[in-house]
Amino acid sequence: MARLARRPGEPRPSTGARSWRRAGSWWRLGTRSVAGQVFLFQAVIVLLLVAAAATAVVLQAHRDSQQEATNRSLAVAGTFANSPGMVAALLSPDPTAILQPRAEAARKLSGVDFVVVTNAQGIRYTHPNPSRIGQHFVGNIKPAQEGHAFTARNVGTLGPAVYAVVPVFGPGHKVIGLVSAGITIAKVSTAVEQQLPVLLGAAAGGLLLTTAGTVFMNRRLRRQTHGLGPTEMTRMYEHHDAVLHAVREGVLIVGGDGRLLLVNDEASLLLGLPPDPEGRYVSELGLAPETERLLTSEEVADDEVVNSGERQLVLNRRPTDRAGGPPGWVTTLRDSTELRALSGRAERARGRLALLYEASTQIGTTLDVTRTAEELARVAAPRFADFVTVDLAEPVLSGKEPGPRAGEALRRIAVHGVAADSPLYRVGTEFSLVPFSPQSESLVIGEPVLTGDLRSSDTWSRHDPERGELLLEYGFHSFITVPLLARGVMLGMVNFWRARRPEPFEQDDISLAGELAGRAAVCIDNARRYTHEHTMAVVLQHSLLPNRLPEQSALDLAYRYLPAESGVGGDWFDVLALPGARVALVVGDVVGHGVHAAATMGRLRTAVANFSALDLPPEELLGHLDELVSRIDAEEQDADAPVEDGSAPRPSEGRTAVTGATCVYAVYDPASGLCTVARAGHPPPALVHPDGTAEFLDLPAGLPLGIGGLPYETTEFTLEEGSRLVLYTDGLIEDRAWDIDVGFDHLRTTLTGTPGQDPDATCEAVLHALVPDRPNDDIAVLVARVRRLDADRIAEWTVPHDPAAVAAVRAQVSRRLTEWGLAEAAFTTELVLSELITNAIRYASGPIGVRLLRDRTLICEVSDTSATSPHLRAAAATDEGGRGLFLVAQFADRWGTRYTARGKVIWTETALPRHGG
């Protein structure tokens, strides 16, 4: 609002006059403004609310005061009338002397105005004013004399009051006195006087807030209009109108009744409106049906595209009454004909980049040829083509290097599209290409070939004309065939087909098809080479694992080996027959995967077989394996070191350095039931007792092989017949889904509660419970059920350190062999034992033990306390001795020496006669 100015020459008014003038000016302007009218309305409402609230408070307070006076007087009178000693006091000779002090104390304590005690006839015994004692009670007391308590109102000496009268009953339930208590209403009504100031203060506060709000609103309106008057506002409207008609965007405002209220020049041009369209109905402007529908509907439009002649317009529409405005709709238009064409090309380019990015992340997720081909088909259809087929040469599936050309066979590996009923070849179909077809041409030149119109060309279907007719009838109209070429190897081809979408493939599409095929070809070739290496590693590993288990009588054996899905590792196992009917069980795991790990596993298995032939204790055998793995690591490091000329050597393909291995080695003796076990960083074996309870053997862990350092330790266990020993690799218990302790618990739970189960069933149960569908690591499981040699198959003697005792031992051996039905072997056995016992007596000291074992062979063992090993040599003609061990070697099938903690054992094995047990 414009500020009033002082005329020239007019005297300046005084300060008081200026204040009154400002107040009057504000009042006049305020009452004419919306803010002033709102202020007056709010002030009247506040005053009415305050008056109503005050009246309600006064009336309520008056009712509350009377009720409070009634309740208090009745409570005090009843309490005093029923107080202890009241009856005795009324019957006493001087009731006033007893009751006056009590009545005054009760009056002061309860806050009432009087507590009066009378006799049954109403003569006062007590009163706040002692001069009135002995006078008659003022008021009605008849109901109390009849035995009823009551309340009443009267105007007494202290003013309007409420009093209560309660009878006091004596002997025989007879009224002997009355108690009255009363309080003036004025004493209770002080609450009203306390609430009225608060109420009036709240009213004043409300008026102040209303005044402040009005002032604030008035100033805000002035600030928002920037103090402009009617002239300035008119000028501003003219400027806005000029701008509205000058902008390059069409603007229309349609009223709630469908009339065109406002349209600028750009909108008239874009829509081709007739002259002077404002004020006419939209339906009378001759617009296109779609445009007219959008302008007259009750729907909000966001970037709707409409056609107006040769133009493409983008239309936006919003209601005008959202913020309290008049009903109607405002519509904006802009010409997007050229922008639409540019954005279409940009959108296609953006879509192709997105497709290529998706192809880079979704093709080649696994090293599987078939799955990679399927991923290519799923990525390209339906975003680029309606159908995609992938055909590969047969050798690719087995990992070999193909070279498909015209006339060579291809196999369909993947088909994917918008429908499943297309007449394209199904997956698994094998077919051959004919010369001069687009497919064979693409394979020959190694570049994509586009066939834009299938009906105008018959070369694409020469190898199967009937199938070609079915494709045309189904709606196929164009396709691009692209060779799958990677590292100079032609793997096959991929075909991109269009049938449902009407637009055919164009030259611009060839580059995208080539990019997709090129990326997929590299992934397929990687999968092919991996398949080839994986197949070689599996063949090598299986060739290095035992083909069959040795014949022995100590254990019932079963085993399983599962290679990993991601690559062959170095897990291995072996069963070795040892002298004395003993059997060695070994399970190991080489760190790493691939051909090199399998080859290293073979070297370790061969080394274990050689070391076990020396009959080394488990801890010494693991020590030798540790040295061997260290040498293998050193050889790998030397092979990868630079040569003398400073150039780096060419690393072996697929080779990874061996950083260690784990192993567990157990030897079982069926004669004694003793099992000796040592491990090098390997999971402990599980033992299943004959009653079905399972536990893990408590063994020193030991360091993995190849690390070196501390020596290995051996632990001995005595196994009951029928017990099962379960050896395994860590792939059985380790999994990404659980901790290794959980794997141990699963294995123990699986083995528990299976008494009498045979080893083969145990292997199946363990693999079924713990092995996932796609194991991440190799798994080897070896289950051995323990047997014991019968006591009647074992014969033992202790030989004194005296050559004369040899004859007695020979006689005992001969008798035992006769009992076993092996009399034919008595002579040879006596000769062998005589030589061995004689050598022990001659070269050793201490007790000499002899043991015969009747197993698959006849085993003779002679033990002594000497650690000196005999050597076989040819005696000279002049030598008096040296022929005994030579004779032993001639008559025995096998012989050897093994060392024990107390000395050594020389053993021989002789084949049993055919009719012997």
Q: Which tens digit of pLDDT belongs to each residue from 81-106?
A: 888 888 888 888 888 888 888 888 88
Q: Retrieve residue 665's tokens.
A: 């080695």
Residues 167 and 147: beta-carbon distance below 8 Å:
yes
The string of pLDDT tens digits covering residues 490-528 is 899 999 999 998 999 998 899 999 999 999 999 999 988
pLDDT of 192 > 70? The answer is no
First to last CA, the chain: 131
Q: Retrieve residue 889's tokens.
A: 């070697």
Task: State the Cα–Cα distance between residues 700 and 682, nearest whole angstrom.
Answer: 10
The string of pLDDT tens digits covering residues 443-469 is 888 899 999 899 888 888 888 889 889
Task: State the Cα–Cα distance between residues 865 and 879, nearest whole angstrom.
Answer: 27
What sign has the CA pseudo-torsion 591, 597, 599, 602? positive
Q: Is 846 left (phi over 0), alpha (psi -120 to 50) or beta?
A: left
The predicted pLDDT at position 652 comes to 46
Query: Angle at CA 533, nearest 5°, toward 529 and 535?
Result: 115
pLDDT of 913 > 60? The answer is yes
Strands of 711-867 (E only): list them.
715-718, 724-728, 779-786, 794-799, 848-854, 857-864
Q: 475: pLDDT confidence band, cut at 50, 70 and 90?
A: very high
The predicted pLDDT at position 285 comes to 82
pLDDT of 716 > 90? The answer is yes
The string of pLDDT tens digits covering residues 378-389 is 999 888 999 999
Q: What is the largest CA-CA distance in the chain?
A: 169
Q: Is 359 left (phi over 0), alpha (psi -120 to 50) or beta?
A: alpha
What sign has the CA pseudo-torsion 386, 392, 396, 401? negative
Q: 34: pLDDT confidence band, cut at 50, 70 and 90?
A: low
Where helices occur in 482-560 by DSSP H, the ranges are 507-544
Count of all residues that appear for the chain in the document: 917
Residues 728 and 779: beta-carbon distance below 8 Å:
yes
The predicted pLDDT at position 655 comes to 47
688 Cβ contact list (under 8 Å, min separation 6): 694, 723, 724, 725, 726, 751, 752, 754, 757, 762
More confident of the two residues 76 and 542: 76
Instruction: Tell me the average pLDDT across 650-658.
Output: 47
The predicted pLDDT at position 25 comes to 47
pLDDT of 747 > 80? The answer is yes
833 Cβ contact list (under 8 Å, min separation 6): 809, 810, 813, 850, 860, 862
Q: Retrieve residue 305's tokens.
A: 């595209």
User: Amino acid identity of 222?
Assistant: R
The predicted pLDDT at position 764 comes to 94
Q: Edge-to-edge, what's the strand order for the sheet holding 250-255?
A: 260-263, 250-255, 328-335, 311-319, 301-308
Task: State the Cα–Cα distance between residues 783 and 802, nearest whole angstrom.
Answer: 46
Q: Half-sphere exposure (CA, 13 Å, Cβ side) for 526?
A: 14
Q: Indicate the range of 170-179, 230-239, 382-391 predicted with least confidence.
A: 230-239
Q: Retrieve residue 867's tokens.
A: 């650690």
The string of pLDDT tens digits covering residues 824-845 is 888 888 888 888 888 888 888 7
Task: State the Cα–Cα distance between residues 587 and 731, nearest whole angstrom.
Answer: 12
The predicted pLDDT at position 880 comes to 42
- Give the containing element (helix H, strand E) for 107: helix 95-110
Percent of the chain with pLDDT over 70: 82
Q: Retrieve residue 426's tokens.
A: 């199904």
- Total-model pTM: 0.53
The total of other beta-carbon atoms located within 10 Å of residue 793's CB is: 17
Q: How far is CA 861 from CA 353, 670, 886, 910, in A?
A: 81, 15, 17, 12
Residues 310 and 340: beta-carbon distance below 8 Å:
no
654 burial (CB, 10 Å; 0-12 / 13-18 / 19+) is middle
* Three-class secondary structure of residue 3 per DSSP: coil
pLDDT of 10 > 80? The answer is no
Q: What is the mean pLDDT of the chain?
A: 81
Q: At what angle do helices 507-544 and 595-613 cross, to 10 degrees?
A: 0
Examine residue 382 and say whether the peptide bond preceding it is cis (omega within 30 degrees of 0): yes
The string of pLDDT tens digits covering residues 856-910 is 889 999 998 887 767 655 544 444 444 567 677 777 888 888 888 888 888 888 8
Residues 373 and 414: beta-carbon distance below 8 Å:
yes
